[in-house]
Structures are given as C-alpha cells and as structure tokens.
Amino acid sequence: MEERRIKIMVDAAVPFIKGVFEPYADVVYKAGKEISREDLSDVDAMVIRTRTKCDADLLEGTPVKFIATATIGTDHIDFPYCEEKGIIVRNAAGCNAGGVMNYVFSALYGVAARKSIRLDGCKIGIVGVGNVGGRVDRVAGSLGFKVLKNDPPRMAAEGPEGFCPLDYLLENSQVVTMHVPLDETTKGMCDDAFFAKMKPGTIFINASRGEVVVDEALKRAIPKLGPVILDTWNNEPVIDRELMDMVDIATPHIAGYSYQGKQNGTAASVRSLARFFGFEKLYEFFPKTELLELESIKLDLKGKMQGEIASVLQYNYPIFTDDFMFRMDPAQFESLRSNYQYRREFYID
C-alpha cells in the first residue's frame, strides 16, 4: 500500500513559497484568516502568518504536528495548548529587523523634516532590544543619537549595564520607539501613566504590536507629544479612524515588509519545516532575488547633515507614499498588506 504523502496548509499570502514543497508533499493554499478546523482534518503541517490564530478552536482533533509562522511575532499561537498536544512551533525570529529599522529612520527623519525638528544630540529611547530593537540601536548610534535602552528580560539575563529603567527612559528621551513582543507584560503598557512620564514634544513610534498601546490614552497624550508614528493598531484590520487622523504617519502594519525581510521569513519557515520532515534538499533553502534593483543597498551617511540624511532615506524608502495610500482608504488594510510592493532594504554602518 502506497504511503500517504505529507500534507501542508500554507497561507496564500506567504511569498516565494509556491512550488517549493510540491515535490515532497501535497500543498493547499488558503487565505490565513479563512483557514478552518475542517480544512485541517488531514493536514500534517502549516506555514502561516499572524492572521491565523492557532489555538484549540482551530487545532483540536486535527493531525497537525508542526507549525511554522513566517513572522517574528507569535502572539497568534497558543503555546501552552501546542505544547500539551505535542505540536512543534517555529517562528522566523529577526526576519524583518532590517525592514523595521528602515521604517523607523525613514519615518523619524521624515517627520522631523516636515515639522522642522532638529535631531542633533537627541536621546532615542528603545523599548525592547531584541532583533529589531538591536538593529535600531546600532544604527541610532552610528547616526549620532544618544541611546537609552529598556529590556527587562535582557537586563535580568545580562545585568543592568547598558540598560535603564523604563521611567528613566521615558523622562529623558526625545524619541521613544517600541519594539516589544506582545505578551501579558506588554499588553496595554503604553497607558496614561506611560505617556505622562514623557517630555512635551517627544516623538513616539510604535512598530511592534498595536495592543501595546491604549488608544484612548494615546489620544489624550497627543496634544502634549510631538509627532506620532503608528504602523500597528488595535483590532487590525478594523482600526480607530479618529486615532489615524490624529497621528503624523499611519501605515497598515507594513514596517517589516522589505523584500529581504520576506525572503528571510519564508526561508526560515521552509528550512524549519524541511528539517522536521527530512526534506534534505530544502535545508538551506533561500528565495532567489529575481530583480537586481531589489538587492539590498548600503547607504553612506557619515558626515551628512540632517536634511541630507532625510533626503537619502526618503529616496530609498518614501514612507509618506505608504501613509498616503493608507489614508485614502483605511478599509483596505488587509488588501494593502497583501498586495504591498516589497521595498528593498538599505543598511547603514
């Protein structure tokens, strides 16, 4: 009797993956938010993004034994349930760090240019210094910012040197940028007390998860704050339109949507699944860069004035185009994400 082939369910929006697993398995593609328990009745593994909530409601009674999420975030996965059921979960840690770093600095220099804000000598406070926050830290230092860092898990593991308490960071930074994972310690952390500690005119950036911010608290704080930049929102894809109208840059959760970030995310998912099932030819899989103009580029910003840096960053990532497209029709949140034209990454020494 012929042995049954492995069956894999793949979120149809995961890029660069069609045709990759077909020589080794039966593959089904479906929009992530539409995947149901019935769809998984004979599925062994999944490759997903954040729109598929993996919990008992979806997985109970299915043969799924491996989940790869092509994202750094894992708050859409019920880890205690998966562990209880013996389901292995792998994410793509750090895959979009370069893309988010590009977003942060394009946005920061972009709003500073529009609002005539001088960044020379500014302190930038980074809340969460993992893969993304670490990249932001390195670039901020190379651009001459004074950097304050808050990361309680890292501080507990590595000691206090190089880190500071959150209150100190908020009270002493001219820019605060959020790069925390979403968990019970970070959900709603940006509340009235959080914003009250920030200096008047502070620039606030959230490109982590929308749920770390209490929307009503941010609205109350905006008259005191400087420019506010939001890429992530509570209740995505249905967002608070009033809040969107109040912020300076609004984008539909695309900060990490660089070409290289998507390559990295898909590569991590394919490799982890391949190793689990023994698809040896895919152990070192990496999507090919099809167009030369999408290869990453190094930017030399040493010695340049703030205006010159802003111009170079906007040329390489014109972030206000993403802001404009989103404001034109916020109801198209999911469509804008799914059909996003991935931008090439730039890196800065």
Rounded CA separation 175/146 (Å): 10
Listed in order, strand segments (DSSP E) in the chain are 6-11, 25-30, 45-48, 66-69, 88-90, 123-127, 146-150, 175-178, 203-206, 228-230, 249-250, 297-299, 346-348
CB neighbours of 273 closer than 8 A, spacing ≥ 6?
Answer: 8, 21, 45, 47, 66, 68, 90, 279, 282
**Cis bond upstream, residue 318 (ω within 30):** no
CB neighbours of 31 closer than 8 A, spacing ≥ 6?
Answer: 11, 12, 13, 51
Q: Which residues are catalytic?
A: 209, 236, 253
